Amino acid sequence: AQTVTQSQPEMSVQEAETVTLSCTYDTSESDYYLFWYKQPPSRQMILVIRQEAYKQQNATENRFSVNFQKAAKSFSLKISDSQLGDAAMYFCAYRSRETSGSRLTFGEGTQLTVNP
Amino acid sequence: DTGVSQNPRHKITKRGQNVTFRCDPISEHNRLYWYRQTLGQGPEFLTYFQNEAQLEKSRLLSDRFSAERPKGSFSTLEIQRTEQGDSAMYLCASSSTLPGQIFPANYGYTFGSGTRLTVV
């Protein structure tokens, strides 16, 4: 079974600064997807960014980018130019491409605070 | 279509009572998922449907839990004889495996805002 670990329960950053959230995962599979989701107080999980394991290039979405290290099974999220609206709980998630169902396995989450 | 809709937003019930939640997915999506999220934790998979067929159930889904998706549209999740340990956020999500659809299954899903259950 796959596991996802987020070792930082809480992180804080100053507005306009850069912050990196860590995520590690464990799997015996070689083909999978990794995601970062944001969950603001409104509770709705919002997809921030995704990465296909077979792609070496790190995914980027505007101010959000990832550092995907497949051999190390590491998948960190970098938020540049942090904004007050980035404050939320962030979840790292794994999805297999090798098994059916496409269930997501989530980490425990990192609560991000953005200070003005 | 405004996304995935879940009702009610909040539910407070007495221990031992039955509760039912509803999820209306994005209409073009053929897959529907239920997750449970306890305070301070990430969501945990409960079950999923492809169209009307329930294809997978987690061991977390005890025999007090039942989910249905009649006609492959909306879904209901029922908890019988609720216990205090059932208190959690219940999240629904949908995705599509059909070509040409937005958010294909190789992406993440579209989540609803959840139903928060409190068992007193």
- Alpha carbon A66 to its chain centroid, in Å, reads 8
- For an interface test with B, the pick among A77, A104, A108 (most B C-beta atoms closer than 10 Å) comes out as A104
What is the model's pLDDT at position A39? 94
Percentage of chain B surpassing pLDDT 70?
Answer: 89
Could you report the per-residue pLDDT of B4-55, keeping only the tens digit for each? 999 999 999 999 999 999 999 998 888 999 999 998 899 999 999 999 999 8
Q: What is the pLDDT of residue A64?
A: 97
Q: Is B51 on the interface with A (CB under 8 A)?
A: no
Gap from A82 CA to chain B (nearest CA, Å): 23
CB distance A76 to A57 below 8 Å = no
In sequence order, which residues have a C-beta less than 8 Å from that of residue A52 and are 6 or more positions away? A33, B106
pLDDT above 90: residue A107:
yes
Q: Is A5 helix (H, G, I), strand (E, B) or coil?
A: strand
Phi then psi dihedrals of residue A56, to 5 deg: -80, -30
Q: What is the pLDDT of residue B85?
A: 94
Separation in Å, CA B107 to CA A28, B9, B40, B77: 21, 26, 25, 24
A64 at B interface, C-beta within 8 A: no
- What is the C-alpha to C-alpha distance for residues A84 and A64, in angstroms, rounded to an integer? 14
Structure tokens at A62: 């505007």
**Residue A32 with chain B: CB contacts under 8 Å:** none
Record: contact A33-B56, CB cut-off 8 A: no
Helix or strand run (H / E) with residue A116: none
Number of H helices, E strands in chain B: 0, 11
Please tell me which residue of chain A has the smallest CA distance to B107. Answer: A50
What is the model's pLDDT at position B111? 92
Alpha helices by DSSP H, listed for B62-115, are: none
Query: Looking at residue B98, what is its pLDDT?
Result: 67
The whole-number pLDDT of residue A100 equals 59
Contacts of B41 in chain A (CB under 8 A): 108-109
Chain B residues within 8 A of A95 when measuring between CB atoms: 108
Given an 8 Å threshold on Cβ–Cβ distance, is B55 in contact with A100? yes
Smallest Cα distance from B15 to chain A, Å: 25
Neighboring chain A residues of B105 at a CB cutoff of 8 Å: 102
A50/B56 CB distance under 8 A: no
Q: Which of A55-69, B88-102, B106-120 has the lowest mean pLDDT?
A: B88-102
Q: What's the pLDDT band for B100 if we cut at 50, 70, 90?
A: low
pLDDT, position A101? 63
**B50 alpha-carbon distance from chain centroid:** 13
Interface test with A, best of B94, B98, B109, B110 (most A CBs within 10 A): B109
Contact predicate B95/B27, CB 8 Å: no
Strands B65-68 vs B88-95: parallel, antiparallel or unpaired: unpaired
Put simply, whether A42 touches B (Cβ < 8 Å) is yes
According to DSSP, residue B104 is labeled B
The DSSP code sequence of B21-72 is EEEE--TT--EEEEEEE-TTS--EEEEEEETTEEEEE-TTS-TTEEEE-GGG
Q: A11-35 b/e with 16+ CB inside 10 Å = b?
A: bebeeeeebebbbbbebeeeebbbb
* Chain A residues inside the 8 Å CB shell of B107: 33, 47, 50
Q: What is the pLDDT of residue B12?
A: 98
Length of chain B (residues): 120
Place of tokens 């904004």: A83
Q: What is the pLDDT of residue B59?
A: 87
pLDDT in tens, A34-82: 999 999 987 789 999 999 998 889 999 999 999 999 999 999 999 999 9
Q: Does B26 touch chain A (CB under 8 A)?
A: no
Does residue B66 register a pLDDT over 60? yes
Instruction: Reply yes or no on whether the pLDDT at A99 is more than 70.
Output: no
Task: Evaluate whether B102 touches B3 at the Cβ level (below 8 Å).
Answer: no
Instruction: Specify the pLDDT at position B42.
Output: 93
